Amino acid sequence: MELGNPHKADRIMKPDLPWHSRFDLLGVTFLLFLAAALGALPAIEGSGRDLDYLGNLSRFAAQFFPPDWSILDRTLAGLLETVQIALVSTLLAIFLSFIISLGASRNVSPAWLLWPTRMLLNMIRTIPSLLWALLAVVIVGSNSLAGVIALTLYSVGYLAKFFSETFESADLSAQKALQSLGAGRLQAFQYGLWPNARPIIWSHCLWMLEYNVRSASIIGYVGAGGIGLHLKLYAESADSWNKFSLVLLCILVIVTLLDFAGEKIRKSIRDKLEGTES
Amino acid sequence: MNSSLLETQGLGLCISQRWLFRNLDISIPPQSFVGVTGPSGVGKTSLLRLLARDLQADEGKVCSHLQSGQNTAMIFQDLQLADGASALNNALGGCLGRHSGISTFFNFPTPEKEAANNWLEKFGLAGKSRQWASTLSRGERQRLAICRTLLSNPRLLLADEPVASLDSEWAGKTLQILKDSQTQKGGSLVCSLHDEDQVQRFADFVLRLHPSDPTSWSWETLTKRTES
């Protein structure tokens, strides 16, 4: 009879665990998330009016088509400025983040520097990019410099955190091996840890550039340069949704291209690092 | 003047409440190849790390008779290469101890690059010096790790199973290069090995560790057959 139940032997060997021990951290946090999300449902209320949702949507969406191609030149110029803001701010952010991330890495930085640096990064991340843009516009006026300042600060909050996590999780064995062969701290970092961290760091930089192109498209809304200003103008004039849709289309094209290129580059870096491609 | 490069006095190491070896008294003479053998887990790696001062002994001590400027270097069993760096830069890591951080910040001195390339060529890696270490095969990575350690020009070379991933041809060649490079400069080599044939062929002395009894290690002098 025992042949009919292949799990019986297992059950005898391994007595059933109490029900609560099946919940690990992952299970518990997922359940908490589910409970909180369901609990939040009553907070989502409609206007209470009897609106024709689908009718509204189709009437509004119809105004987007066909896109108005007559403004293509203007849009491309705005888009170029957007990409330029993203490029400059990402470069500045990479530079700043590298320095700050060393202070925020447990395996590089002393404790007295570690915690203040991490606090600073937390504070920077708390402020959304649009708010950074507002602040920058107040300080330097309504221009693309404000966009660069805003996105640089915003990116540093994320990039420095990514960089420091990369330094902390990178393979440290080569660094230790070089130190045992007589290398100094800086040399062991440069030739032992940095080569292992560099591909991952470059991946993060590409991701940040993509992200910044997206962000740079919206900060113009508050006057910080780029295509966002066009979006604002078209959204505020009642009959320009077809112009608005062309701008969106252009943003979609550039973001998709960047996403595609970034993914290709990241994949080739990953393959090379894992030794699956020579 | 002392006749040994390094000696141990009553050395003992206890890991997880188990003695790997005790009362170990050995002396590493200059220009010698010392093989360390024993089954896996017997403590060969730990002994080498003790000799490299990478571990603290639980009893006894390691006395170094190396003069200042003469160093000890180790070839690690797990290689410990920088995967995202070229083979050449990995090998050049061995010379960092001879130069300041500023002088190696942008580039390595030309003589060091020539020396590194020589070692890479000797170990059949000349054509792969620009490749990332991650793209090399296991055997090539092992040879690269050996190049790096040899470039540090150690007087006492500690090698932890340096030929474990190599085919028999490269294994023999590698042990010969290691032995020649050490004996030519009056240095020595302590090398953990699994293959008894390799021990008999290359080692001048052999330390055998036994898993059953931490004090029953043995030290033999091997008479060399003249190679035809």
Structure tokens at B122: 């000797």
Average pLDDT over residues A88-103: 93
- For chain A, percent of residues with pLDDT exceeding 70: 90
Res B172: pLDDT: 92
Summarised one tens digit per residue, pLDDT across range A141-156 is: 888 899 899 999 999 9
- For residue range B24-74, what is the model confidence (pLDDT) as tens digits? 999 999 999 999 999 988 889 999 999 988 888 899 989 888 876 668 899
Q: With 80 as the cut, is the pLDDT of residue A276 above it?
A: no
Write down the pLDDT at residue B122: 93
Would you state the structure tokens that stand for residue B4, as one six-digit string?
Answer: 């040994």
As a whole number of angstroms, the distance between CA B120 and CA A273 comes to: 21
- Among B77, B81, B96, the residue to mutate for chain A (most A Cβ within 10 A): B96
Nearest to A181 among B73, B132, B135 (CB): B73
CA distance A157 to A114: 15
pLDDT at residue A58, as a whole number: 84
**Contact indicator for B96, A178 with CB cutoff of 8 Å:** yes
Task: Give the number of residues written for chain A.
Answer: 278
- Identify the band that residue B225 occupies on the pLDDT scale cut at 50, 70 and 90: low
A68-274 maps to CATH 1.10.3720.10? yes
Cβ within 8 Å, pair A278-B54: no
Tens digits of per-residue pLDDT, A141-200? 888 899 899 999 999 999 999 999 998 888 888 988 999 888 888 899 899 999 988 888
Look at residue A137 and tell me whether its pLDDT is greater than 70.
yes
Calculate mean pLDDT across residues A1-23.
Answer: 55
Tell me, yes or no, if B80 comes closer than 8 A to chain A by beta carbon.
yes
Mean of pLDDT over chain B: 89
Mean pLDDT score, B139-162: 93
Do B134 and A275 make contact, defined as CB atoms within 8 angstroms? yes
The Cα diameter of chain B in Å comes to: 53
Q: Which of B157, B161, B159 shows the shortest CA–CA distance to B187?
A: B157
pLDDT of A5 over the 60 cut? no
Q: How far is B174 from chain A (nearest CA, A)?
A: 20
Confidence of residue A263 (pLDDT cuts 50, 70, 90): confident
Mean pLDDT of chain A: 84
Residues of chain A in contact with residue B135, where contact means CB-CB under 8 angstroms, are 272, 275, 277-278
Q: How many angstroms separate the CA atoms of B55 and B78, rounded?
A: 17
Which distant-in-sequence residues (6+ apart) come within 8 Å of B160 by Cβ?
A: B44, B45, B48, B74, B75, B76, B77, B192
Query: So what's the pLDDT on residue A14?
Result: 52
- Does A180 contact chain B (CB < 8 Å)? yes
Q: Is the pLDDT of residue A11 over 50?
A: no
pLDDT band at A2 (very low <50, low <70, confident <90, very high): very low
Contact B5, B155 (CB under 8 A): yes
Q: Quote the pLDDT of residue A170.
A: 83
Residue B2: predicted pLDDT: 60
Contacts of B58 (CB under 8 A, 6+ apart): B12, B13, B14
Q: What single letter denotes the amino acid at residue B65?
A: H
CA B226 to chain A, closest CA, distance in angstroms equals 35
Query: Looking at the DSSP assignment, which residues form a beta bridge with residue A204?
Result: none
Domains belonging to chain B, first-starting first, are 1-71+156-228 (3.40.50.300), 86-153 (no CATH)
How large is the average pLDDT for residues A200-218?
A: 88
Q: What is the dihedral sign for C-alpha A111, A112, A114, A116? A: positive
Q: What is the domain partition of chain A in residue ranges?
A: 2-41, 68-274
Q: Which residues in chain A touch residue B94, judged by CB atoms under 8 angstroms apart? A: 181
The yes-or-no verdict on residue A201 having pLDDT over 80 is: yes
- The Cα of A270 is separated from the nearest Cα of chain B by a number of Å equal to 10
- Tell which residue, B98, B174, B78, B138, has the closest CA to residue A174: B78
CA distance A175 to A189: 6
Q: Is residue A6's pLDDT more than 50?
A: no
A272 touches chain B (CB under 8 A): yes
Tallying the residues shown for chain B, one arrives at 228
Rounded Cα gap, residues A224 and A129, in angstroms: 11
Rounded to an integer, the average pLDDT of B108-133 is: 93
Determine the pLDDT at residue B36: 93
The pLDDT score that the predictor gives to residue B142 is: 93
Percent helix, strand, coil in chain B, to 5, is: 35, 25, 45
Q: Is residue A52's pLDDT more than 80?
A: no
**Does the pLDDT of residue B228 top 60, yes or no?**
no
pLDDT of residue A4: 45
pLDDT tens-place string over residues B77-108: 888 999 889 999 999 999 998 898 888 999 99
Contact B97 A182 (CB under 8 A): yes
pLDDT at A178: 92
Asked if A176 has any chain B CB less than 8 Å from its own CB, the reply is yes
